[in-house]
């Protein structure tokens, strides 16, 4: 088949959670089909690395976006009651690239990753289309709004309602809409109970993310994630202010390493605290992650699957996370990972791993076994490929 694939973040290299799923989808489809990709580039660094995508697809278009025009479209979108996301990811250059592809090639399928890209091909009627939302973003914006007071919270509330309207329109316009977890599927079915919907999980590269041979630093905890992302920023700030002092009271040598690109000013300031290190961008997160006794991620805003949880477990690094974040992983709490919400609970869980190597090994082994059994990309994407193949029949939902 010839497949047109649209995604909002240029997927190569897959250096963030928003890119990993898209690249793996392209890679899987590209093994058996001809895949043309349309995305967008935002800076010189992305442009310099973009040719690497060619190994996974038949061709790609990626116009440069940004500048005053992009922000003008955001403002004009608000005047039309559209979401900020639609304005931000809406680009005449991308629309033109999509039109050229559709005019010059007869496609058998269209696959779109992210609701903000869905409008580009929503009006195409003669080609079966799959929309992968991954997560129901309107629910994410609701959580942002609930957690953020003041004017910024009002902006998030506007975006919640505007994105919900977009999701309703787009789910109705596509032949099948998908998400990454059963919980997200419940939210998706609430948007349009009559729409065809399904889910397929994220996976992890268990060859790349494998346990290190060296033993972990016995006093080291870490967090992994992009540090300009609100849920991650909020998590590490709260942990450093409320939980780390409890841990260090019992174990004064404990260090907390914040691993991730683009730390905000608020995150950078945490490095002034005793026992806290902020790495910023690193060439490879694996050595930093693998040297840790545990990855602590008590997120209070979380939707879908947290890649950081899967990657940590694949490396044999035990995870302490919130009950909310754990919902995205088919794991048994207190066997495969530790669930904790309050500072006292998180501190107790972390101290139990720091002070008991045998306990750490048990969680390490259990998490590693779970990922290798249920969360390989091969298993996940076999399900996705069946959905794509079945789009022109009644059996697309698996």
Q: What's the CATH code of the domain at 262?
A: 3.40.50.2000
pLDDT digit string, tens, across residues 170-195: 999 999 999 999 999 999 999 999 99
Rounded to two decimals, the pTM is: 0.89
Same domain as 175, residue 112: yes
Pick from 379, 368, 374, 375: which is nearest to 314 by CA?
Answer: 368
Bridge partners (DSSP) of residue 259 are 224, 280
The domain total for the chain is 2
The predicted structure's pLDDT at residue 393: 56
Instruction: Tell me the three state secondary structure of residue 178.
Output: strand
The predicted structure's pLDDT at residue 326: 93
Same domain as 270, residue 197: no
Arithmetic mean of pLDDT, 145-154? 93
Checking if the pLDDT of 212 tops 90, the result is yes
Same domain as 179, residue 72: yes
Same domain as 261, residue 191: no
Same domain as 16, residue 161: yes
Checking if the pLDDT of 77 tops 80, the result is no
CA angle 279, 285, 286 (to 5 degrees): 135
* Cα–Cα distance list, 150 to 85, 117, 147, 154, 235 (Å): 21, 30, 10, 7, 20
Same domain as 31, residue 174: yes
* Cα–Cα distance list, 383 to 88, 178, 378 (Å): 31, 11, 9
Arithmetic mean of pLDDT, 244-250? 98
| Mean pLDDT rounded to a whole number for the chain | 93
What element of type H or E holds 34?
Answer: strand 34-38
Arithmetic mean of pLDDT, 31-40? 97
The answer to whether position 124 is within a domain reads yes
Task: Residue 303: give the domain boundaries.
Answer: 220-374
Same domain as 157, residue 84: yes
Bridge partners (DSSP) of residue 344 are none
Same domain as 241, residue 192: no
Same domain as 286, residue 198: no
Checking if the pLDDT of 148 tops 70, the result is yes
Checking if the pLDDT of 317 tops 70, the result is yes
pLDDT digit string, tens, across residues 293-307: 999 999 999 887 888
Checking if the pLDDT of 201 tops 70, the result is yes
Same domain as 224, residue 132: no
With cut-offs at 50, 70 and 90, classify the pLDDT of residue 395. very low
Same domain as 194, residue 237: no
Checking if the pLDDT of 398 tops 60, the result is no
């Amino acid at each position: 088949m010839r497949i047109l694939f649209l995604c909002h973040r240029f997927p190569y290299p897959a250096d963030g959670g928003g890119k990993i799923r898209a690249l793996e989808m392209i890679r899987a489809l590209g093994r058996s089909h001809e895949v043309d990709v349309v995305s967008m580039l935002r800076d010189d660094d992305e442009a310099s690395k973009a040719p690497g995508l060619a190994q996974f697809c038949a061709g790609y278009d990626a116009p440069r976006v940004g500048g005053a025009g992009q922000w003008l479209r955001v403002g004009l979108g608000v005047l039309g009651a559209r979401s900020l996301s639609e304005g931000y990811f809406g680009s005449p250059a991308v629309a033109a690239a999509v039109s050229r592809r559709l005019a010059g090639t007869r496609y058998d399928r269209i696959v779109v990753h992210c609701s903000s890209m869905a409008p580009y091909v929503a009006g195409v009627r003669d080609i079966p289309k799959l929309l992968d939302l991954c997560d129901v973003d309107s629910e994410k914006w609701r959580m942002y709004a609930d957690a953020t007071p003041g004017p910024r919270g009002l902006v998030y509330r506007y975006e919640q309602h505007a994105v919900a309207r977009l999701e309703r329109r787009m789910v109705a316009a596509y032949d099948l809409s998908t998400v990454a977890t059963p919980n997200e599927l419940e939210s998706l079915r609430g948007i349009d109970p009559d729409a065809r919907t399904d889910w397929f999980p994220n996976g992890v590269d268990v060859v790349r993310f494998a346990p290190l041979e060296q033993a972990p630093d016995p006093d080291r905890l870490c967090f992994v994630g992009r540090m300009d992302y609100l849920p991650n920023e909020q998590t590490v700030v709260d942990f450093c202010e409320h939980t780390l002092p409890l841990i260090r009271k019992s174990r004064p040598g404990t260090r907390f390493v914040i691993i991730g690109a683009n730390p905000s000013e608020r995150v950078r300031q945490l490095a002034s605290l005793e026992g806290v290190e902020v790495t910023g961008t690193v060439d490879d997160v694996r050595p930093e992650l693998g040297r840790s006794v545990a990855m602590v991620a008590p997120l209070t805003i979380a939707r879908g699957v947290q890649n950081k949880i899967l990657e940590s477990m694949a490396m044999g690094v035990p995870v302490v996370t919130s009950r909310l974040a754990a919902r995205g992983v088919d794991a048994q709490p207190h066997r495969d990972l530790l669930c904790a919400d309050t500072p006292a609970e998180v501190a107790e869980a972390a101290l139990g791993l720091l002070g008991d190597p045998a306990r750490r090994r048990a969680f390490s082994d259990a998490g590693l076994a779970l990922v290798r059994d249920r969360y390989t990309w091969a298993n996940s994407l076999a399900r996705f490929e069946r959905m794509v193949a079945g789009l022109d029949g009644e059996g697309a939902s698996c």
